[in-house]
Every structure is written in structure tokens, then in C-alpha cells.
Structure 1
């Protein structure tokens, strides 16, 4: 029977997730495992990645915990070499590692600027560069950058964070253009507010939460499973003809008009 429905499964795929120790990264790692993938769990804190690796194994998939600082290129080189040795291939890279320091523009220091850009943009670029070489040898792959709605619209998250996430969106387009001939798709996901350990304190502020919901047509904060579906879609063959795009998972926030 003729069928046009592509597979959303990731069976026998190796998915690398940076910043996988907790929050969004942990959810994406577990979601990839639930879709059938073996998962490389990469972060700086051993206790966190070992916990995430255990959760991946509970799903019945292999987990490869790797300690690496995304801001240090030498550690990324060693990490990718270790992934090749242990997992044998890289099918999907999810650049999730990120951070923010909420400062007014007049108060931003050079140290803050460097730290945010090294983590959010530089780390994602060099991890992509190194994983892409492995993907090319394997005939292709998929790279997913976790950006933010802050890279598209102005928010109170701070100018440096916004600039780094906007840079990630543009980097996504350029890498997609350059690596398309190698069978590598490069896309981004732009989340709005999601309930994670990092946002928990902010969301406990009733006025702050009310401001968020007022800007969200769906009138709710995102749940982690809302992001997992988007990531699995962009990791699977269902997205084979999509590249250079940013999928905003935001409850309609970036479509909002006054």
C-alpha cells in the first residue's frame, strides 16, 4: 500500500544533547530515548549527567555520559572523539547548553558578555563544527540549536542573552546553507517560558507570571513535553526537507500583536 507518512522514530540513531544534566536538556535526552535513540549526555557536572544517563537507560536505550565544558574547544574535540569511539557515529546533535546573566545594558560587564556568548553561541558553533565532520563521514545528520524567542523579539531577558540567541538563529541559516550538500540539516527551536529548575523562582512571582501569560495567546507556560515533540520531529526523517528554519514553541507569543 502506498504510504506518505514518514517515520518520527529515532531507532538506532545516536543523539548528542549538550547541557543534558537537567531541565530542558534532560527532557530532550529522555524524549530522544523514548523515540528509540541511544543518547550521548554531555554537561559539566558529573552527578547531573549520571542521573540523566540513568533515566535514559530506564527507557531501555544506551546512554553515554560525557563531561565537557562547552566553552572550551579542546574539551569539545576530546568529547567528539570519545563519542566516535564509544557510540561509533553521530546522527543528531542538539545544542541545548546555555546560560544567562540578567543585567541592564548599562550594567553589563565584559566578563558577562564573554561568558554568555562563549556558552550560548561559541560553544554551539564549535560543537556543530566537530559533529558535522563525523556526520559528513556517515552520510549526513541533523543539528538542532536551542535558541529562544528572545532572539526574535525584545524581552526583559537582557541584551547579551538576546544578542547571543539572535546570533544562533542566523548561524543556523548559514550552517544550513553550507552543509546542505553534505546531507546535514540545521534548524533551531525558539522556546518561550517553560517550567524548569532555572525558571521556577521567576514563575513564582505572580506579577511576572501574569505578564508572561498576558503575552501568550494560549495563556499558559510551556511544559517540557511541548519541546520534546518539536525536537523529535526535527531529529527524524519527517523533517528531511526542512533546513535553516527556526520553530518557535511559544504558545503563539511571537505572533502576538497589539
Structure 2
């Protein structure tokens, strides 16, 4: 392996990926494992995590699981401490856990607002802080927060989601500012429109799908595998002087009106 490729090698590093039992989180976990990392899958359903982990292990990946609620501060602190003690120091954190709810803003329920903010924003703060407290004494670490094209752009009926992802973008920058002096790089990964369970209703809507494809310079939906290269870059030494940046993987959606 030449010197350039070695920068992307994640061998010997432990990566925690939140919300990684399906969709983008699972694709990112598989990608980091393919680059050599030992990945720790996270979700609230321990049984589902073990099923996914078994499939990844069959493919040769080094996989552990950690079932905990990323919106519960005490549970997060305990889980991160256990991973550090029993699996290994967390060198890479991918804050991926998220959810979506669609409704006209004037009809959006207050309970759903708080649920969405806890899942999309509070979790990034809670898990990021808990992991950073271990990274700081080591003087090194990589944190990748999954943002969205909605960190920049709005769409009808998703104002709370847009607010949450805009906040994740700015929290990412704040983390980079506060933790950069400790050798930690914190960046955002901003997916465009991808074929996932979260977007199933949109994928199955012919009118929306046609509009999106015509709106996207690359003229297609994203496949979750399209995110892997960017994630490995942000998790690796190849990005050691990239900090506070949001890397949009969107087929060009944010580049055009």
C-alpha cells in the first residue's frame, strides 16, 4: 500500500456509529469496516443489532454492538464508558441517528417537535460530548456528524427537520472550534436524497421522484454506498487538516436552483 492509500486505512481503530441497524448508518458502518475499522453498531433494539452484526461478520467485518438510547444522557455516558473499557478507545464517532416527521408547520404537534429535536440534535450533543471527553486526553479523534442538504435548503412540510439539521451543522462547527485544539477533527457529512427507509414515501412517489431527478445535476437518487468514500475520508488521516467542514454528497443539489 502506498503512502497516499495508507492515509485512508482505518485498521486498529474503533468506530462507533449511532443509528446503524439500517439505512445510511448501516452503509457507513460497513464502509468503515471495509477500510479496516472495528465498528460498534448502535440502536435501541439489541436483537436487530445482533442480526445485522452477524451479516457483517459473515462478510469479514470486525463488529460489536451497543444497544442504548442516544437521547438519554445517563445511558450514553454509561455506554461510551463500557465501549472504551471493554472494546477499545473510540477513535471515530459517526453521529448518524435521526428521524423525520412531515406535516404543515402550523399543524406540527409540539410532542413531535421535541421528539425530533431530541433524536436529531440532542443526540449529537450527548454522544459527541461523552466521546470527546475520552478523546481529549488522548489528543486525537474523528467525529462525523450526519447533516443533510436540509442543513442548507428548505422544503415544504419539514420545517422542524430543517431546523434540526441546520442546528447540527452549526453544532459541528462549534465542536470543531472547541475540540480542534485537542487534536480532534469534527466535520459534517451532508447526504442529499437517498433511497432509504426514511425516504420510502418519496421514492415511491412518481411525481416527486421525477422532480428530484430533474432537479439533481447527477440525474438520479443517491445510493447509500455513494456516502462511503466521503465517510472514510472524514474518518481517516487523509482529512487531518479538515475541521468544521460540511461535505455534501448530494449529486449537486446544493449547487443549483
* TM tier relative to shorter chain: over 0.9
Q: 1:157 to 1:104 in 2, by over 3 A?
A: closer
1:58 Cα offset (Å): 2.3
1:1-258 to 2 correspondences below 5 Å: 7-156=7-156, 158-257=158-257
TM-score between both structures, scaled by the size of structure 2? 0.95
Partner SS state of residue 21, structure 1: coil
CA deviation map 1:162-183 (0-9, x unaligned) = 0000000000011101101111
- Paired with 2:198 and 2:79, the residues of 1 have a C-alpha distance of 26
Q: Can you give the 5+ residue segments of structure 1 that lack an aligned partner in the other structure?
A: none
TM-score between both structures, scaled by the size of structure 1? 0.95
Name the count of aligned residue pairs: 256
CA deviation map 1:12-71 (0-9, x unaligned) = 110000001111111111111110000111111123211221233223333221111111
Partner SS state of residue 42, structure 1: strand
Partner SS state of residue 198, structure 2: coil
**More deviation in 21-30 or 200-209?**
200-209
Partner SS state of residue 80, structure 1: helix
Residue pair 2:148, 2:191 contacting (<8 A) in 1 also: yes
1:197 Cα offset (Å): 2.2
1:11 Cα offset (Å): 0.5
**More deviation in 122-131 or 77-86?**
77-86
**More deviation in 147-156 or 60-69?**
60-69
CA deviation map 1:184-221 (0-9, x unaligned) = 00000111111112223321111010111122011000
- Paired with 1:48 and 1:99, the residues of 2 have a C-alpha distance of 18
Partner SS state of residue 113, structure 2: helix
- Paired with 2:200 and 2:41, the residues of 1 have a C-alpha distance of 23
1:244 Cα offset (Å): 0.2
- Paired with 1:43 and 1:82, the residues of 2 have a C-alpha distance of 15
Residue pair 1:30, 1:55 contacting (<8 A) in 2 also: no
